[in-house]
Amino acid sequence: MVARIINVLVLVLLGAVVGTVGTVAHQSAVTIVSVRLPWGLIVALAAVSCLLVGVRLVSEGRLLAFAAAVGAIGMILVFSMTSVGGSVLIPNNLAAQIWVIAPIVVAVLVVAWPRMSQLRRDTASAPLA
Domain that holds residue 38: 7-121
In the chain, beta strands by DSSP E:
30-32, 35-37
Determine the straight-line distance between the first and last CA of the chain, rounded to whole angstroms. 42
Q: Is 109 within the bounds of a domain?
A: yes
Residue 70 sits at φ, ψ, to 5 deg, of -60, -45
Q: Which of residues 119 and 67 earns the better pLDDT score? A: 67
Q: What angle do CA 76, 82, 87 make, to 5 degrees?
A: 105
Structural domains in the chain (count): 1
**pTM: predicted TM-score of the whole model, two decimal places:** 0.86
| pLDDT > 90? residue 84 | no
Q: Is 126 within the bounds of a domain?
A: no
Q: Which amino acid, 10?
A: V
Q: What is the pLDDT of residues 30-56, one digit of tens each?
A: 999 999 999 999 999 999 999 999 999
Q: Is 129 within the bounds of a domain?
A: no
Exposed (0-12), middle (13-18) or buried (19+): which is 34, by Cβ within 10 Å? Answer: exposed
Beta bridge partners of 32: 35
